[in-house]
Chain A
Amino acid sequence: MIFSIVFYIITAVLFVISLKKDRLKTKAALHKAWKSFENILPQILTVLMLIGIMLTLLSPETISLLLGKDSGWFGVASASIIGSVTLIPGFIAFPLASALLKSGAGYMQIAAFVSTLMMVGVITIPMEVKFFGKKATLIRNSFAFGFSIMIAIIIGLVLE
C-alpha cells in the first residue's frame, strides 16, 4: 500500500514537472498512456477472469495439502506448478509462504513456490506474447521455471 502511494507521488511530481516544461508533450504522453492501456485491456480482463477462476479452484487448503513437509519431489513439482499458474501479489504470497513454513511445509517446496511465483507467469502469457511474441515468451518462461527449481533445491539444501 505504502509503495503504491510513493509510486503515485513520484508519478504526480514527474507529471507536474512535465506539464510545466511542455504542455503539448505532456498531452501527447497522456494520449500514449491511454492508447497503450486500451491496447492491452483485452489481455488484462482475460487475466483477471483467469485469476478469479484459478484461485477459486486452488484454495489455500489445497495448496498447503500439496506442499507438506513430507511431500518431497512431488511437493517441489506441485509448488512450482502452483507458483507458475497463480498470480498472487507479494504482500499476500510472503505471509502465506511463511505461514506454510510454520505449519510444516519444507523450505525447498516454499522456495520453489516463491521463485516460480515471481519469475514464471503462465496466466500473463497472453500479455507477454502481445509484446514479445510466442517464442521469446516461451523461452523466458521455460528457463525461469527450470532455474526456479534449481534455486529451490539450493535454498532447501542450505536452510533445511
Chain B
Amino acid sequence: MKHKIKHIINRYRYFFILFIAGLALLVYDFELGANSFRLTGLNMLDMISILPPTFILLGLLDVWVDKALMIKLTGEGSGLKGAVIAFLLGSLAAGPLYAAFPIAAVMLKKQSKFSNVIIFIGAWSTTKVPMLMFETASMGVKFTLLRFFLNLPVIILIAVITEKMLSKREKTEIYGKAEKL
C-alpha cells in the first residue's frame, strides 16, 4: 500500500509541483492565480471533450487492425503508398496534437515504418482538413493554400531527417516502448 502511494506520487510529481506553483501564484496575486486555474479548467473541458473518442478509437484500432494489415499499409516496404496513407490518416483527424501521440504509439506497436509515423504526426499537426477549412475562413484562401503547400515537403523532410538521425538501436527502443503501452 505504502509502495503504491509512493508510486502514484512519483508519477504525478510534476503535476503536484505545478499545482503548488499555481497556488503560490494565487497567494502572490489572487487574480493572476485564479486566471491560471480558470484557463487550466477551460482547457481541461476542451480535452475531456476530445479524449474519450480518441482513446476509444485507438482501442478499437488496436483490437481490429492486426499487425499484418498495418505492416502491409504503412510498414517497411510500403513505399510511397504507405507515406500517402499515413498522411491521409493524420489529415483526416480531429483534435489537438497531443491526441495524436497515443495513436502514433499504436501504429508503432503494429510495426508501421518509423518515418510514416512521423508523417502521420506532421499531417495531424498541420494539414488537418477541419482546421484547414477554419483557417481559410479566418486567414483567407491565399494564406491557407500557401502554408499548406509549403508544409507538405516540410512534413516529409522532418520525417526523413528524424528517421535518418536515429540509430537502429534507438528506433528499436521506441518500438519497444510502444509495445509496453
A interface residues, Cβ below 8 angstroms from B: 3-4, 6-8, 10-11, 14-15, 18, 25-26, 28-37, 39-40, 42, 44-53, 55-57, 87, 89-91, 94-95, 97-98, 101, 107, 111, 114-115, 118-119, 121, 124, 126-128, 130-133, 135-136, 139-140, 143-144, 147, 150-151, 154-155, 158-159
Contact = CB atoms under 8 A, between A and B. Distances in A.
Nearest to A96: B138
Given A33-B59, A133-B170, 11 more contacts: A7-B94, A39-B181, A42-B11, A52-B36, A52-B37, A52-B39, A91-B134, A94-B135, A94-B139, A131-B108, A143-B157
A31 B63 CA distance: 10
Interface size class of B (residues with CB under 8 A): 35 or more
B30 interface: no
29 contacts: A4-B49, A7-B50, A10-B53, A29-B56, A29-B62, A34-B55, A36-B55, A37-B55, A50-B18, A51-B43, A52-B39, A52-B43, A87-B43, A89-B96, A97-B139, A98-B138, A114-B139, A119-B122, A119-B154, A131-B104, A132-B174, A133-B173, A133-B174, A133-B177, A140-B121, A140-B158, A144-B158, A151-B151, A155-B147
Interface string B101-144: 11011001000000000100110011000110011011100110
A50 B63 CA distance: 34
Interface of A is mostly: helix
Contacts of A48: 40, 43-44, 47
Given A131-B105, A140-B118, A18 B64 contact: yes
Interface of B is mostly: helix
B147 to A, nearest CB: 6
